[in-house]
Amino acid sequence: MIIDVVRQTALKKYSGSFSFEYDCPAGLVILPSADIVGKVKVSGEFEIYDDDSVGVRLRLSYLLRGVCSYCLEPAEQRVEYEDDVLYLTEDDGENYSYNGLKIDLTTAVNDAVLFSQPQILLCSPDCKGIDIK
């Protein structure tokens, strides 16, 4: 999950793409009784700008499995998420920062996993909830 900015610049490659699978830490799943099944698939592109800032487009895909938030039956949802992030060589409090040499995408990917999760997990879009007879 590293973009070697110095190497890319030396090769005069100011843009590129990446793709990898990531074992997401279990603590990033915010829904109770839910887990990410398998690995998070991460892909995207990067562009190195003249001021050494780097724009990164992240795409994530993963399967979230747990219990339905309404009826407590088994449920799963495929999550697809896309985000644009900016890395700067100085910390401005709003963007990600890096040391001017290499970018470690771990924090941005973890943040994207947090932001991408649904607030509820449903067994079906028309779930009516627990059936009390």
Q: In this structure, is residue 90 part of a structural domain?
A: yes
* pTM of the predicted structure, to 2 decimals: 0.90
pLDDT value of position 133: 61
With 0-12 / 13-18 / 19 or more C-beta atoms within 10 angstroms meaning exposed / middle / buried, residue 75 is buried
Give me Rg for the CA atoms of the chain.
18
Q: Which residues have C-beta within 8 Å of that of residue 46, sequence separation ≥ 6?
A: 3, 15, 16, 17, 18, 54, 55, 56, 57, 103
H or E segment and range at residue 57? strand 54-67
Instruction: Provide block-wise average pLDDT over 10 residues at a time, the chain (133 residues).
Output: 94 96 92 94 97 97 96 95 97 94 96 96 89 67
- 99: containing domain: 2-116
pLDDT at position 64 is 97
123 within a domain of the structure (yes/no) = no
In a domain, residue 128? The reply is no
d(CA 16, CA 8): 9
The pLDDT value given to residue 14? 96
